[in-house]
Structure 1
Amino acid sequence: MKHIYTIEGMTCNGCKAAVEKHLRAHEHVTDVAVYLDKGEAEVTMNELIRTDVLQKALPEKYTLTEKNSKNIFTSNKTSMAPLEEEKSKLQQLLPLLLIIFGISVASVLLHYKNWSWSEFMLDFMGLFFIVFSFFKMLDLNGFPESFRMYDPLAKQLPIYGWIYPFIETALGIMFLMRFEIQIALIITLIVLSITTVGVTKTLLDKKSIRCACLGTALKLPMTEATFIENAIMIGMAILMLSF
């Protein structure tokens, strides 16, 4: 029987070889074909293997989910797959939504007595960059690989993925300390516009990859929420520059 799985976390031929090696190591796997461009693996097995068992066979950086199955005995379950996938994505996005909500609340509380939209936006942007850079720094080795899967500049210039968390930290400090705001806003527009181009292309291509906005500690799917998140920050930067 053959099963097709979506593999998230593959960034190069080395990843492809690693996935093939670990999946082939299972005693009931007879053949494995990994497609890096599709982010998929076709696994032929002589006995049904649970998806969670195959997942445990892979290193933590890779996430394996079943896409479809050619096993006639499980075909009656495929109609539930889209609903289960949708719920899974919503559950995975919950940390991102909670963090953005927390940053918003904190920014409001800082100015609720003497309200100022410009001050609110500066603190929101500052806290946003500090918090998001912190999560990226939790895995400085794994983040660049995930980031360059969709960021155009990181694809062409790998070192950009390594310094990106520090760029975010610097921008966060500049906004919170009100230091060279104009420069920080221009850098924000450039950096997030580049990333948004890559996010948009990924969404249009309907590729299933992992969003690296919160590093690799949280397994967030690349969805419209990521595009909206960047659009909000870009919109704030444009508004601040127009003041």
Structure 2
Amino acid sequence: MKNQYHIEGMTCEGCRSGVENILKSIPEVTSAEVHLERKEATITSKKLLDIEVFEKALPDKYTITEKGNNITDFSESGIEISAGKSELRQLFPLFLIFAYITITSVLLNYNPWSTDDFMLDFMGLFYVVFSFFKILDLKGFPQSFRMYDPLAKVLPVYGWVYPFIEVGLGFMFLMRFNIHIALIVTVFVLGITTIGVTKVLLDKKSIQCACLGTALKLPMTKATFIENAIMLVMAIWMLAKNYS
């Protein structure tokens, strides 16, 4: 797995060499390359390491932080990210957020029960919560997003405005404002993203999923496809119902 980190405290070539040697001495690290001018370290490891491992290894004069545009490359390690507990552990934040959104939507509509309102609240909460994590790192998200979204690849500005599109759609669903427009936009934006996700899965590429921004590093898996598919099915079903 390859990741990039920002390192403060290096003042000379000797510092750079010392930091590089320390990082290479960590048992799980297979290679490390440190750049003095860019204050950057590229580290390849056998497994994903917590940043605390590097903090403990380096002297106090150095400060190491994860880069906002970090993309974990799982393919170089030869590790299958879909292997059992490892994948479930990595996707736990996604499952937990889905559970909270689902439970909240049910509680809002259980008495009396309304399937339509449940779906509208679910989609609204989905967008609001997921956009929050994307906005946490507005600089890093577009770079991760265009790794798989076809429109973001050809139109980089789309990656910058996408989190705010989600915010707008979320409030439109929750406030029941111009629902038809919100549903059409949902089918459009998630349809494009789902095409990109499907291509990544078919090509068996190992990249980071930007569905929860870059704050939580999630691998691109079938769960990402299912997440988008649920929203698409809801939007298409409601559009078909309203126009029938």
The CA deviation at 1:172 is 0.3
- C-alpha distance after superposition, 1:128-172 (max 9, x if no partner): 000000010110111001100000100101100000000000000
Q: 3-state DSSP class of the match of 2:225?
A: helix
TM-score by length of 2: 0.73
Change over 3 Å in CA distance of 1:179–1:24 after alignment to 2: farther
Q: Which amino acid aligns with 1:103?
A: I
Q: Which runs of structure 2 are paired with 1:73-92 in the superposition (5 Å)?
A: 82=80, 85-92=83-90
The residue that corresponds to 2:160 in the other structure is: 162
Q: Is the 8 A contact 1:126 1:176 kept in 2?
A: yes
State the distance in 2 between where 1:193 and 1:50 align.
Answer: 33
* Distance verdict in 2 for CA 1:229–1:173, change over 3 Å: same
For 1:42 and 1:106, the matched residues in 2 are separated by: 41
1:18-43, Cα deviation, whole Å (9 max, x unpaired): xxxx999723879889xxxxxxx997
Percent sequence identity over matched residues? 59
Distance (Å, rounded) in 2 between the aligned partners of 1:161 and 1:100: 23
Q: Which runs of 5+ in 1 are unaligned?
A: 1-5, 10-21, 34-40, 69-80
Paired with 1:144 and 1:25, the residues of 2 have a C-alpha distance of: 30
Distance 1:23 1:133, change over 3 A: farther
Query: Structure 2 matches for 1:1-243, cutoff 5 A?
Result: 6-7=1-2, 26-27=20-21, 52=49, 56=54, 60-61=66-67, 62=70, 63=72, 67-68=77-78, 82=80, 85-243=83-241
Look up the equivalent residue of 2:192 and give its one-letter code: I
**RMSD between superposed Cα atoms in Å:** 3.4
- C-alpha separation between the residues in 1 aligned to 2:113 and 2:50? 54
Unaligned 5+ segments in structure 2 are 5-15, 25-29, 34-41, 59-63
Q: 1:105-133 CA distances to partner (integer Å, 9 max, x unpaired)?
A: 00000011111100100000000000000
> Which amino acid is 1:147 matched to?
F
Could you tell me which residue of structure 1 aligns to residue 38 of structure 2?
Answer: none
Is 1:24–1:32's contact at 8 Å kept on the other side of the alignment? Answer: no
Distance change in 2, residues 1:227/1:90 (3 Å): same
* Amino acid paired to 1:60: E
* Aligned residue pairs, count: 204
